[in-house]
Structure 1
Amino acid sequence: MNRNTISSIEKAFLKETGTSENSPDPSYIVVDNFPKLGLLTSLRFLEWASENPRGIISLPTGKTPEYFIKWTAHLLDVWNEKPGIAVREKYGLAGVKKPDLRGLRFVQIDEFYPINSGQHNSFYNYVVNYYIKGFGLNMDNALLINSDEIPLAEGKHYSEIFPDLRVDLSLRYRECRSSLEQLQQRSIFMIDQWCSDYEKRIRDLGGLGFFMGGIGPDGHIAFNTRGSDQYSTTRLTETNFETQAVAASDLGGIEISSNRLVITIGLETITCNPDTVAIIIAAGEAKAGIVKNSIESPINNIYPATVLKRLHNSRFYLTKGAASKLSDTMDAYYGEGDWNPEKSDRAVVDLCRKNNSYGHHISIEDLRHDRYCRHIPSLDKNTVPSVQKSIIEKIERGLGQEKNQVFLHTGPHHDDIMLGILPYIATHISETSNQFHFSILTSGFTAVTNQFIITALTDTISFIDDGLIQMIAYPDFFKVGYKHKWDKDVYHYLTKVAAGEEYELRRGLCHRIVRAVVEIYSIKDAEHLRETLKNVIHLLQNSYDGEKNPPEIQKLKGMLREFEEELVWAHFGVQVKNVHHLRLGFYTGDMFTEQPEQSRDVAPILDMLKEIHPTVISLAFDPEGSGPDTHYKVLQAIAAALREWSKKEDLSDLRIWGYRNVWYRFHPAEADCIIPVSLDEMAVMDSLFSNCYLSQVDASFPSHELNGKFSHLSQKIWVEQLKDIQLLLGKDYFYQNENPKIRSSHGMIFLREMNLEEFLTYARKLEKSIDGNF
């Protein structure tokens, strides 16, 4: 990295963070939070645009550039006003004239293929709305990827050539078996030619001048996935599972994204101009691992972003979370402040991992030669045993039995609680002195596919026609009757689970669908019900995958998810009245979701707290950017409600259990409660997931870590967490232990228990990271 390439803006941010521009590794800049990342990227872009008014730009799509887009629009609006002048003076743009972006030439990075360019989930649509229109660029200067305009054989539309929207790239190399395949083959070659022409047009412009992109879980930039050729150019290509999993939420499910190809510029396209300013942006701890590998590895095909090392103007812009695993960050963690037991625990556990060695095999020499363990105070033969003792105390805490507690288990989405801590809940729910409440704070409708609803509604019509939804014949059903006996729906369904009667299971689901539809659409009679069901089916059949549903269908999807959650806890005798559905209003399914508001989102939580008076509250304790943004927004709403509640009542005895599930996980050093999990408890979780979360069994929106059910991913995580503990303590600690619970453990769950002030302190730090400050 050529240090002379650091811009004025970058120097200002380095100075603000106390980092020298002559630091050993100036290849990245770290800022405090997500909005600050947007400010940095926006100022750097506007700085470059002011110097290159006719330059070639390529900007990212998706959720990561949210604050880049917001800050850029804001700064352009107030450039010569007091707020804009203050920002420019602070960051070194005081004398810079407001950039005129109309002369810039925009190059679209990538796109799904084929996709209707008018769909809200096409990248073409994103670019046109957020960049061309949003920034006031000139559409005539844009080089875009529009599936509708890419020429195909005989002048046909892609819907005629690829009627199922699947493109079989094997046709590049094999003989055709039908006349349709002949058209498809010719069309694929025409698309390939279009891509070559697109590449040439970029090269004829001199290559990209300013490139900004996000980074995927496998390290992809644009759609250059892990293993991409370092000298790749614009092309039509397949993607890998990690990328498909991330794209599933855009396209309406993994069933769609796994069969949809992409057109992407290549790694050579990005780097062919040696003077390109190339910026990779990453926010949140979920990106920390891939960021570390991309920055600290030499150029290689496994980590595509390493190719940017060719450019003397390349840089990573990171939040603290995204930078948390970098060697510099870890050095600072161990080197700053007083040494504490958590640092010792982390250093020794990590040494066991690194050496793949059991704790009792770690020697004093191993500790002294380790980069971090050598800093442990009073390093001696008791160092490892003291860490082992610390972890054993956490396990013993996890074996404790709670009594006389009022539990409120909360989750951002349906299934979060179960996937996070089901075995620990099951341990305490059998104790009759405890009370249990469960609350899901958002509707979760985005996790339900259109096809699932179509199938369920079709079944419902069939059961009605066969006279098997008998409750609709009751005289008062459509007036008030539908509001009653919701527990009966749950009990009926679970009885049929026990009996193994698949047909009756479907009928049980349809009972709840009927109640939901009657409530949502104010149904008057059986004929109105049939007509409405058919209308909803027709609407969904004529919607494209991933299209935002009307509010009524969003509510229907959400109510089905609520039924699924009620089924889970009914296994343990919990009634519907103790499963609270808050449906917080900030959850809208839009590209950029709103922040929680006091009256709309905090007040319902506060009312629930006052009603239940919990002594223990569990919540998803995910850091910013570690999973769906709903997680940390829900955490903020809960924190705000608890702050309000604490002004009226003494909450000094309230305990907060922070859990993590399939999106992120604790390091053993961070947790203070470790719960052993047996094989039978894993089987119970998998059975509950499969029998209750009907809309999720096929994992239409999976994690990038596993192509399967979330229950299987949770089990995989629990097993991996056990391996960490086994390395430290040795396997004999488990199979020779006097406690049968430990002997039977084949997985581990990590929890972090906090008092109210500890939790609110964490929440305040997180709040800074999601406060836009516009």
Structure 2
Amino acid sequence: MLSKYPLSEVEKAFQKESGIENISTLIPYLTVDNFPKLGLITACRFLEWVSENPQGVISLPTGKTPEYFIKWTQFLLENWDTKKGKEVRDRYNMSALKKPNLKDLTFVQIDEFYPISSKQKNSFFDYVNKFYLEGFGMSKEKAILINSDEIPLAGGKHFKEVFPDLKVDLSLRFRDPINALEKIQQQSIYMIDHWCGQYEQRIRDAGGIGFFLGGIGPDGHIAFNTRGSHLFSTTRLTETNFETQAVAAGDLGGIEVSANRLVITIGLETIVYNPEAVGIIIAAGEAKAQIVKDSLETPLSNIYPGTVLQKLKNGRFYLTKGAAVRLTDSVDAYYKKGEWTWEKTERSIIDLCKKIQKYGHRLKMEDLKADKYTSMIPGLSEDTVNQVMKSVVEKINRGTEKEKNQVLLHTGPHHDDISLGILPHITNQLAENTNEAHFSVLTSGFTAVTNSFVIDTLLQTKKLLDEGLIQMVHYDDFFDVGYKLKTDKDVYHFLTNVASEHPDQRIRGLCHRVVRALVDIWEVKSKAKLRETINDVISILRNSYDGEKNPAKIQKLKGMIREFEEELVWAHFGVQVKNVHHLRLGFYTGDIFTEQPDKKRDVEPIVELFRKVNPTKISLTLDPEGSGPDTHYKVLQATAEAVRQWGLEKDLSELRIIGYRNVWFKFEPHEANVIVPVSLGDMSVMEDSFTNCYLSQVNASFPSYSHNGKFSTVAKRTWVGQLNDIQLLLGKNYFYLHDTAKVRSSHGLIFFKDMNVEEFLAHARELEKSIEGML
């Protein structure tokens, strides 16, 4: 029961709101509906603690995870006595609290990449100073920080002299150096180790951390304490694992950088050194659900670093419902609370097949009665499994129906989202000539293009210009209007040379489009100015550090490269450039925290697109919990508002909304109402189009933490896994003996949700409500 845990007044309010009655985990937790509200609960608990410990020691996280924690904390501090602020405080048992003053707190930096200059905007040192010390009005003098530029090294040298390639070889701790440079590096590593010991001592001298807030990585890492870290670990210089490097790639400008960068991190023992400490881990989204379950339901283990919070009586996990979905408590509550639905019957039967590895047609009544969830099915009988099988077959039938006379608008937050989500479904639609298809990526997507990719492309472009192989620049009208013409020709040229396997000519197609982009963005009026512009861009990028925010014009260039890649994918199926719409919504800026979508700037362009295309079906990525990449849920907000506004002008009773997921999240079978068979041919088309068209992504500078390679491989594995789940229910013979070739050729499945407008807006409404209090 929750009563055995010493809940604070704020936690009691959130616990009551969550409706959780029983907790069986080894660390207590609280759940909220979505990612923005996760920031609210954390901010309220933090300010409650600070009001009681005004001179306490705190340690707060960096990165995108604390976005709403920071925003809600600032909101409450600025609106403590306003009507809005009082409403929040009254709701969460904070009305009696005196307004906290954060100036006397001691801030402890959790971790930092090493080596990295503290002057870089993507260093955690800079983040801490900007968002916490300055943003919250805390003392810089009292702060205990990790500044790589100031950590002493051998001979008083800077890390750029000691580690000229910014790589630190920790084997030098245990082996003899083989040259003079390695000798200096070895001495320096020992000095860094000594500095880390002093850092740990400073924390302990302050009494240890009193309030710790951290996220949890996909491998379970807390701070940079990755899977396998010792439960008694302290502050140290250490290596990371692939999952952590993949997550850090966005901060450092690519996996190429993060894979070669070490980290300085406080240890697990550092976090729990003060037995009275409040230690909170926050997690959002179903992608974190398994590691959350393992961290909360496993006894103390170095395999799951989060289990260390078992040592603290005030240790907590704050979770979105998606992150908590696999907890035994959550599953129990799902089945036991509220009325029994058909979805519960489907889920319990499919999960039982997976649990006992038994095909649906082989399940016996004793199997159903022995399971604690299927035994709860009302009217349980021999026919129950058959009814579930029939229901899933109907979903597959919907996924194989031939759609006709549809105007389809497929949208995605980022380039490649649509392809990775539902490409095989789209190819079915495009095979029908009466359908009209449009595609729109709603953001520019420039952050996914590395500086090195642009530099290499520009060098190739300059070479082709020198060789006279970009002939269009010689036309009299090119720099006035010609650069805007024949964009379909660039696409066709590129794909023709994919087919004929001429990689040099294929790159020439890309370079043609890059020239058009340069002329457009920089308003180039001559061949000499074009060459000068190319040199200027190369120079700027070569003098930028990895992960640095680019100037606006270079952001636009990177975005236009991604847009060309998207046009290439849909041209595989004869879709013209004019049917691929690039919206470049303004909230997408490349900053660590992007703005909320603006109703005029970000919503109106989507409404205009709806008016222009007049779709009968709209597809979009569905992340109603707001827990995925922030672009996903901000695009969802903007799209939902656009649908609402369009509905004021037009009857949308016949409009269908297709909610899909891709490599970041997936639907469970019971959540989806359409299942689309995927053949090996479909997978090959997706893999080939990804490899040949998304040139900036093939080397996966920003890979999924689940696979060190292309996103297309992650998508394929998801589809195959989904087939395995359904095969356990229906049996393999259902597929290979099916009447239709489409089902017989299935080697994967795609799940999605087909909704009417009202259903879609209901999904999006809760997320909007959770944010509007701050706006």
Deviation at 1:547, TM superposition (A): 0.3
User: Partner residue of 2:253?
Assistant: 252
Q: Please, which moves more after superposition, 366-375 or 145-154?
A: 366-375
For residues 87 and 769 of structure 1, do their structure 2 counterparts lie closer, same or farther at Cα, with a shift above 3 Å needed?
A: closer
Q: Supply the distance in 2 between the matched residues of 1:382 and 1:546 (Cα, whole angstroms).
A: 58
Q: How many residues align?
A: 774
Q: Supply the distance in 1 between the matched residues of 2:234 and 2:27 (Cα, whole angstroms).
A: 28
User: Partner residue of 1:703?
Assistant: 704
User: Partner residue of 2:422?
Assistant: 421
- Kept in 2, the 8 Å contact 1:33–1:770? The answer is no
Deviation at 1:25, TM superposition (A): 8.0
Structure 2 SS opposite 1:321: coil
Matches within 5 A, 1:673-752: 673-752=674-753
Q: Supply the distance in 1 between the matched residues of 2:731 and 2:715 (Cα, whole angstroms).
A: 23
Deviation at 1:754, TM superposition (A): 1.0
Flag structure 1 segments of 5+ consecutive residues without an equivalent. Answer: none
- Kept in 2, the 8 Å contact 1:226–1:301? The answer is yes
Q: Supply the distance in 1 between the matched residues of 2:351 and 2:21 (Cα, whole angstroms).
A: 30
Matches within 5 A, 1:74-473: 74-473=75-474
Structure 1 letter corresponding to 2:673: D
* CA shift digits 1:148-204 (9 cap, x unpaired): 011111111111111111111111122222211111111111111111111112122
Deviation at 1:19, TM superposition (A): 4.6
- Kept in 2, the 8 Å contact 1:360–1:730? The answer is yes
Deviation at 1:81, TM superposition (A): 4.4
Structure 2 letter corresponding to 1:437: H
Structure 1 SS opposite 2:675: strand
Structure 1 letter corresponding to 2:275: P
User: Partner residue of 2:503?
Assistant: 502
* CA shift digits 1:227-276 (9 cap, x unpaired): 21111111111111111111111100111111111110111111122111
Q: Please, which moves more after superposition, 473-482 or 85-94?
A: 85-94
Q: Please, which moves more after superposition, 742-751 or 45-54?
A: 45-54
TM-score by length of 2: 0.97
For residues 672 and 4 of structure 1, do their structure 2 counterparts lie closer, same or farther at Cα, with a shift above 3 Å needed?
A: closer
For residues 24 and 406 of structure 1, do their structure 2 counterparts lie closer, same or farther at Cα, with a shift above 3 Å needed?
A: closer
**1:7 matches 2:8:** yes
Flag structure 2 segments of 5+ consecutive residues without an equivalent. Answer: none
Deviation at 1:689, TM superposition (A): 0.5
**1:530 matches 2:531:** yes
Q: Supply the distance in 1 between the matched residues of 2:290 and 2:714 (Cα, whole angstroms).
A: 19
- Kept in 1, the 8 Å contact 2:25–2:297? The answer is no
- Kept in 1, the 8 Å contact 2:110–2:265? The answer is yes
User: Partner residue of 1:605?
Assistant: 606
Structure 1 letter corresponding to 2:418: I
For residues 227 and 25 of structure 1, do their structure 2 counterparts lie closer, same or farther at Cα, with a shift above 3 Å needed?
A: closer
- Kept in 2, the 8 Å contact 1:284–1:623? The answer is no
Structure 1 letter corresponding to 2:531: R
Deviation at 1:13, TM superposition (A): 2.4
Matches within 5 A, 1:561-572: 561-572=562-573
Q: Supply the distance in 2 between the matched residues of 1:623 and 1:599 (Cα, whole angstroms).
A: 22
- Kept in 2, the 8 Å contact 1:64–1:214? The answer is yes
Q: Supply the distance in 1 between the matched residues of 2:183 and 2:557 (Cα, whole angstroms).
A: 44
Q: Supply the distance in 2 between the matched residues of 1:626 and 1:716 (Cα, whole angstroms).
A: 22
- Kept in 1, the 8 Å contact 2:36–2:626? The answer is no
For residues 103 and 24 of structure 1, do their structure 2 counterparts lie closer, same or farther at Cα, with a shift above 3 Å needed?
A: same
Deviation at 1:711, TM superposition (A): 0.8
Q: Supply the distance in 1 between the matched residues of 2:533 and 2:416 (Cα, whole angstroms).
A: 29
Structure 2 SS opposite 1:762: helix
Q: Please, which moves more after superposition, 659-668 or 51-60?
A: 51-60
- Kept in 1, the 8 Å contact 2:24–2:329? The answer is no
Identity among equivalent positions (%) equals: 64
TM-score by length of 1: 0.97
Q: Please, which moves more after superposition, 640-649 or 475-484?
A: 640-649
Deviation at 1:53, TM superposition (A): 2.1
Q: Please, which moves more after superposition, 410-419 or 97-106?
A: 97-106
For residues 721 and 632 of structure 1, do their structure 2 counterparts lie closer, same or farther at Cα, with a shift above 3 Å needed?
A: same
- Kept in 1, the 8 Å contact 2:723–2:747? The answer is yes
Q: Please, which moves more after superposition, 333-342 or 606-615?
A: 333-342
- Kept in 1, the 8 Å contact 2:27–2:315? The answer is no
* CA shift digits 1:118-145 (9 cap, x unpaired): 1111111111111111111111101101
Structure 1 SS opposite 2:380: coil
Structure 2 letter corresponding to 1:255: E
User: Partner residue of 1:553?
Assistant: 554
Deviation at 1:312, TM superposition (A): 0.6
* CA shift digits 1:86-122 (9 cap, x unpaired): 4434433334333232221111110111111111111
Deviation at 1:22, TM superposition (A): 9.2
Q: Supply the distance in 2 between the matched residues of 1:284 and 1:533 (Cα, whole angstroms).
A: 42
User: Partner residue of 1:654?
Assistant: 655
Q: Supply the distance in 2 between the matched residues of 1:684 and 1:572 (Cα, whole angstroms).
A: 11
Deviation at 1:83, TM superposition (A): 4.1
Q: Please, which moves more after superposition, 611-620 or 510-519?
A: 611-620
- Kept in 2, the 8 Å contact 1:30–1:317? The answer is yes
Q: Supply the distance in 2 between the matched residues of 1:772 and 1:281 (Cα, whole angstroms).
A: 21
- Kept in 1, the 8 Å contact 2:33–2:625? The answer is no
- Kept in 1, the 8 Å contact 2:27–2:310? The answer is no
Q: Supply the distance in 2 between the matched residues of 1:572 and 1:81 (Cα, whole angstroms).
A: 57
Deviation at 1:494, TM superposition (A): 0.9
